[in-house]
Structure 1
Amino acid sequence: MAVKTPSLRRPRPEVIVIGAGIAGLATALRLATGGMSVTLLERHSHTGGKIRTLPSDAGPVDAGPTVLTLRHVFDALFACAGTRLDDHVTLIKQDILARHFWSDGSRLDLHADADATTAAIADFAGGKAADDFQRFNASTARLFAAFDAPMMQAPRPRMAKLIPHVLRQPTLIPAMTPLSTLAARLKRQFSDPRLAQLFGRYATYVGGAPHLSPAILSLIWQAESAGVWVVKGGMHALTDALTRLALDRGVHVRRNTHVDRIDVIGGAVTGVEINGGEQLDADTIVYAGDPRALATGSMGAALTCVAPQTARLPRSFSARVHSFAAIPSGVDLAHHNVFFADDPRSEFDDLMAGKIPRDPTLYLCAEDRGQDSPPCTQERFEIISNAPATSTLTPPTDLDLWHHQIMQRMADMGVTMSPTPTATTITTPQHFAEMFPETQGALYGQTPHGLTAALQRPTAQTPIRGLWLAGGGTHPGAGLPMATLSARHAAEAILRGRTSTSKSGQTAMRGGISTA
């Protein structure tokens, strides 16, 4: 009699996670560590999402996020898998958070040490400016401490809970300046307009303009001042390490896998259709992409009830990102450098009008600086300039002119590159829109503009049974730490539901009634 060969087919996944960016990887790892069978689907050939690289003569150059903040979020992620972050990547804490340049030749370093920053500001703009900074630092520290638990750490923040929380701490109200924009608050805070311009840039960390974003975004300074780390080898080393760890913990990772549709029957997910016809069944799905793709119906008409505000509200800003290798000359660079526009309001007026800024502020990441060793002669660089989101995939016609403009701007401010990089390594909003469908190229989800914008983000749970959200487009918001926290919110809710279902079943069995 023939012996039947055992099937090598994988068991039906308990959970499908769609999107292998930082949130998808973190969600899959947490669920697999919790004992669930997880399949992670990624439409690109690489994991990491917006943490991506382009080739260069000096090696892979990052073309996405540049530094790590709120390190404890990532320590907790690796700890949940029974390991340590330091066992997988090397993080180098930066003494200089960022180096800032103005066209009049003035320069200011912000430091990890608050006293060093105060002294630097005193040298830069005088004792009054240093006193302004100390008051700003103290008030934003109160804000961060007060809102960390009820906002960022809470899976479903609610105004009804936040109001009593604020009223119990009367000193919070003047620190919040609740009816003010970030730009207005900073104008009152700082006597030197350059400092208002500098700290106003934190609105762009979540894709907004300072004069339209709520003043409470000033607390982003505390996230940065708590520590900035460079990942040795580049930011992609972090997601590479997470991918390896997820595989080791049993996650089935499928790259080059496009999800055409999420199937819904009777108000509950039943699986997904991938690559033009293949069916994967699952009763729990985590969508770790921009939730606007669900709200617009591109994943199925039954999903338009999910995060409908993302299809209605304006999008955040996008960016033009230039990644290249060159030999620099001129001013001394830190890892993270900012070259400010002469007229900051003009830049944001252009962005709000859907135009590429005529006078942009440029972020220059010298990726091989801050690595505890001298850089090689040829270094890797990333220049980021804010740009409006766009619904078109048509390539821009001004790229060569714009490229010449920003390289000339860098030269005027004391930095030249040899050889001069070409425009072929620029990623545009149109590229982002193509890589991440239904985002309109926006890098941070919906706009942060408006006093209650933070409360309008979708949370992990959706109206569709078994469908959950994670990623920078969901609560608590954009940025690597926030996207990683969103993964924790989704994974913990799923694991709690699994545990409660298991306990309910055990109770029913003890009562003599099987629920199977």
Structure 2
Amino acid sequence: MPAKKALIIGAGIAGIATAIRLAVKGYEVEVFEANSYPGGKLSEFEQEGFRFDAGPSLFTMPQYVDELFTLAGKNPADFFRYQKLDVVCKYFYEDATQLNAYADTDKFATEIHKKTGEPIDAVKKYLGNSSNIYSITNHVFLEQSLHRLKTYLRWDTIKSIFRFPQIDAFRSMHKANEGFFKDTRMVQFYDRYATYNGSNPYAAPATLNVIPHLEQHYGAYFPEGGMYSIITSLVKLANSLGVKFHYKSRVDEIALNERTIAKGIKVNNHFIPADVVISNMDVWFSYHKLLKNHSQLFPKKILQQERSSSALIFYWGIKKQFHQLNLHNIFFSADYKAEFDHIWKRQDIYDDPTIYLNISSKYKADDAPEDCENWFTMINVPANTGQNWDSLITIARQNIIKKLNRLLGEDISQLIVCESILDPRGIESKTSSYQGSLYGTSSNSQFAAFLRHANKASQIKNLYFCGGSTHPGGGIPLCLLSAKIVSDWIG
């Protein structure tokens, strides 16, 4: 009996992971990618001797990558290596406070107490709460589909339902964080985790305070070879399992028969049959571009949901090394509420944005020429709804440089030897992410987790979805979990 055939649209990390899982199950798998390279948002480029990871730069929960090698009967270390960070991130506040977020919990709590005066017990109590939310939600919200009856018949789910009040879904992250800490710097510190899925801490439910547990408990890591080595190692694994990748192969249509069953795809007007079709494309574009002749089947309410925030990134080659900086660095805004109001209410950029600065050459020296650094300089911005981005970018660049000049005591503008810029328009065009949103829909409501698109189409048989715009959400770990859910569903 011939193997069943699975066609995957998009070679983002979720699409690659789905391909690996289905190949292990015996499927014949082909992946079609519009770009000339795999990875989606997780890509790389070089410019004038500097190498940049173009997208996600924080690597947590590496066990989900390792699991793919283990499933295939391989030793993960033969393909992919990484090292744990002693300092997850370094934080800079406008009042000159500098804070090292140590991976070791005791060391971290002591650092917080020394720099802010918050009791060590307060920090540990907060992290205990974060761990508790994780224990309740992990097996239900993250590792299972919320759209299958059997999920709700599991004993883990039943126990989690009884513990539902403990996940703190009915107040905002900010309100919850104010309840844990007196020092405004610590409230801001934990409010920032809303940006990990493109949301607003003043609106998103306190359930998202689960995120610090993923970083503090499981740690943060640097992959040898940089972030893009995650993609190259997984593609190598997929190829070894017989997965075929087709690059520069933009899918035109998901083909349905008269009974609304997905029967394959069309690429350059050529029909390719399949038993199952999986879209790693943003669900908005999956419907509006690939199923445009079947609007009666659209999940209209889901597709109309508020999108997550986007990003404005300056990739700078810097002709100096800054020894006070780490791999991950945050320069906080003096007025966090005003910054989020600009993003979510005014749909523009605050003049004092919080800056995230990633420097992979701290751990991979050949990412920059000698005595230089490669700066991935990012701020959170609204999704693209037609703003004058050229004007916003010019002003934001000036404000970012002015802020860094002040906090680092150096004229950064004189050190930039090369520059590339990525804004929401480019994110949308390069990665088919509607409005340039990084994480699909936002999580700015109590029940956002239940409102994300399911990993299976409700009205189209044999059509599945994986990636950041679908359940359980965006970011590398959740995208990998979406691949697991799809694979389990396909069976």
Tell me if TM exceeds 0.5: yes
- Once residues 195 and 264 of structure 2 are traced to their aligned partners in structure 1, the CA distance between those partners, rounded to angstroms, is 37
- Once residues 299 and 114 of structure 1 are traced to their aligned partners in structure 2, the CA distance between those partners, rounded to angstroms, is 49
Instruction: Report the counterpart of residue 312 of structure 2 in structure 1.
Output: 320
Asked if 1:234 is matched to 2:230, the reply is: no
Asked if 1:38 is matched to 2:34, the reply is: no
SS at match of 1:337: strand
Asked if 1:258 is matched to 2:253, the reply is: no
Q: CA deviation at 1:129?
A: 3.8
- Contact (CA 8 Å) 1:51, 1:64: kept in 2 or not? yes
- Once residues 262 and 13 of structure 1 are traced to their aligned partners in structure 2, the CA distance between those partners, rounded to angstroms, is 18
- Once residues 160 and 278 of structure 2 are traced to their aligned partners in structure 1, the CA distance between those partners, rounded to angstroms, is 33
**How is 1:107-186 mapped onto 2 (pairs within 5 angstroms)?**
107-126=98-117, 128-156=118-146, 164-166=158-160, 168-169=162-163, 173=165, 175-186=166-177
Instruction: Report the counterpart of residue 427 of structure 2 in structure 1.
Output: 432
SS at match of 1:396: helix
Instruction: Report the counterpart of residue 72 of structure 2 in structure 1.
Output: 81
Instruction: Report the counterpart of residue 481 of structure 1 in structure 2.
Output: 477
Amino acid at match of 2:313: V
SS at match of 2:215: helix
- Contact (CA 8 Å) 2:203, 2:444: kept in 1 or not? yes
TM-score, with structure 1 as normaliser: 0.87
Q: CA deviation at 1:457?
A: 0.9
- Once residues 237 and 131 of structure 2 are traced to their aligned partners in structure 1, the CA distance between those partners, rounded to angstroms, is 35
Q: Relative to structure 1, is the Cα distance of residues 187 and 17 closer, same or farther in structure 2, using a 3 angstrom cutoff? A: same
Instruction: Report the counterpart of residue 465 of structure 1 in structure 2.
Output: 461
SS at match of 2:108: helix
**Correspondence for 1:243 among 235, 238, 241:** 235
- Once residues 283 and 303 of structure 1 are traced to their aligned partners in structure 2, the CA distance between those partners, rounded to angstroms, is 23
**Correspondence for 1:379 among 364, 373, 388:** 373
Amino acid at match of 2:129: S
Q: CA deviation at 1:179?
A: 1.4
Amino acid at match of 1:223: L
SS at match of 2:390: coil
State percent identity of aligned pairs. 26
Instruction: Report the counterpart of residue 407 of structure 1 in structure 2.
Output: 401
SS at match of 1:301: coil
- Once residues 322 and 372 of structure 2 are traced to their aligned partners in structure 1, the CA distance between those partners, rounded to angstroms, is 14
- Once residues 313 and 374 of structure 1 are traced to their aligned partners in structure 2, the CA distance between those partners, rounded to angstroms, is 39
- Contact (CA 8 Å) 1:338, 1:364: kept in 2 or not? yes
Q: CA deviation at 1:331?
A: 6.0
Moved more, 414-423 or 248-257: 414-423
SS at match of 1:314: coil
Structure 1, residues 111-157: CA drift from partner, whole Å, max 9, x if none? 1111011110111112x443321110111111111211111111226
Instruction: Report the counterpart of residue 223 of structure 1 in structure 2.
Output: 214
- Once residues 374 and 123 of structure 1 are traced to their aligned partners in structure 2, the CA distance between those partners, rounded to angstroms, is 35
SS at match of 1:363: strand
Which structure is larger by alpha-carbon Rg, 1 or 2?
Answer: 1
- Once residues 319 and 349 of structure 1 are traced to their aligned partners in structure 2, the CA distance between those partners, rounded to angstroms, is 16
- Contact (CA 8 Å) 1:63, 1:322: kept in 2 or not? no
**Correspondence for 1:97 among 58, 82, 88:** 88
- Once residues 208 and 296 of structure 1 are traced to their aligned partners in structure 2, the CA distance between those partners, rounded to angstroms, is 24
- Contact (CA 8 Å) 1:15, 1:36: kept in 2 or not? yes
SS at match of 1:220: helix
TM-score, with structure 2 as normaliser: 0.92
Instruction: Report the counterpart of residue 197 of structure 2 in structure 1.
Output: 206
- Once residues 287 and 215 of structure 2 are traced to their aligned partners in structure 1, the CA distance between those partners, rounded to angstroms, is 33
Q: Relative to structure 1, is the Cα distance of residues 485 and 435 closer, same or farther in structure 2, using a 3 angstrom cutoff? A: same
**How is 1:476-515 mapped onto 2 (pairs within 5 angstroms)?**
476-494=472-490, 496=491
- Contact (CA 8 Å) 1:21, 1:47: kept in 2 or not? yes
SS at match of 2:362: coil
Q: CA deviation at 1:13?
A: 7.3
- Contact (CA 8 Å) 2:367, 2:374: kept in 1 or not? no
Q: Relative to structure 1, is the Cα distance of residues 285 and 197 closer, same or farther in structure 2, using a 3 angstrom cutoff? A: same
- Once residues 227 and 438 of structure 1 are traced to their aligned partners in structure 2, the CA distance between those partners, rounded to angstroms, is 28
Asked if 1:16 is matched to 2:7, the reply is: yes
- Once residues 365 and 389 of structure 2 are traced to their aligned partners in structure 1, the CA distance between those partners, rounded to angstroms, is 39
**How is 1:358-397 mapped onto 2 (pairs within 5 angstroms)?**
358-370=351-363, 376-392=370-386, 396-397=390-391
- Once residues 200 and 246 of structure 1 are traced to their aligned partners in structure 2, the CA distance between those partners, rounded to angstroms, is 38
Give the gaps of 5 or more residues in structure 1: 1-10, 497-516
- Once residues 385 and 3 of structure 2 are traced to their aligned partners in structure 1, the CA distance between those partners, rounded to angstroms, is 37
Q: CA deviation at 1:328?
A: 3.6
Q: CA deviation at 1:80?
A: 1.1
**How many equivalent pairs are there?**
480
- Once residues 468 and 185 of structure 1 are traced to their aligned partners in structure 2, the CA distance between those partners, rounded to angstroms, is 36
Structure 1, residues 293-330: CA drift from partner, whole Å, max 9, x if none? 13435533226635433321110000001123213455
Q: Relative to structure 1, is the Cα distance of residues 89 and 415 closer, same or farther in structure 2, using a 3 angstrom cutoff? A: farther
**Correspondence for 1:340 among 322, 326, 332:** 332
- Contact (CA 8 Å) 1:399, 1:423: kept in 2 or not? no
Q: Relative to structure 1, is the Cα distance of residues 103 and 438 closer, same or farther in structure 2, using a 3 angstrom cutoff? A: closer
Structure 1, residues 265-305: CA drift from partner, whole Å, max 9, x if none? 12101221113x22212131000111111343553322663
Instruction: Report the counterpart of residue 437 of structure 2 in structure 1.
Output: 442
Q: Relative to structure 1, is the Cα distance of residues 423 and 76 closer, same or farther in structure 2, using a 3 angstrom cutoff? A: same
SS at match of 1:355: coil
SS at match of 1:270: strand
Q: Relative to structure 1, is the Cα distance of residues 56 and 373 closer, same or farther in structure 2, using a 3 angstrom cutoff? A: closer
Coordinate RMSD, CA, aligned: 2.4
Amino acid at match of 1:357: Y
Q: CA deviation at 1:407?
A: 1.4
Q: Relative to structure 1, is the Cα distance of residues 106 and 237 closer, same or farther in structure 2, using a 3 angstrom cutoff? A: same
**How is 1:255-294 mapped onto 2 (pairs within 5 angstroms)?**
255-265=247-257, 266-275=259-268, 277-294=269-286
Amino acid at match of 1:205: Y
Asked if 1:309 is matched to 2:304, the reply is: no
- Contact (CA 8 Å) 1:294, 1:304: kept in 2 or not? no
- Contact (CA 8 Å) 2:252, 2:289: kept in 1 or not? no
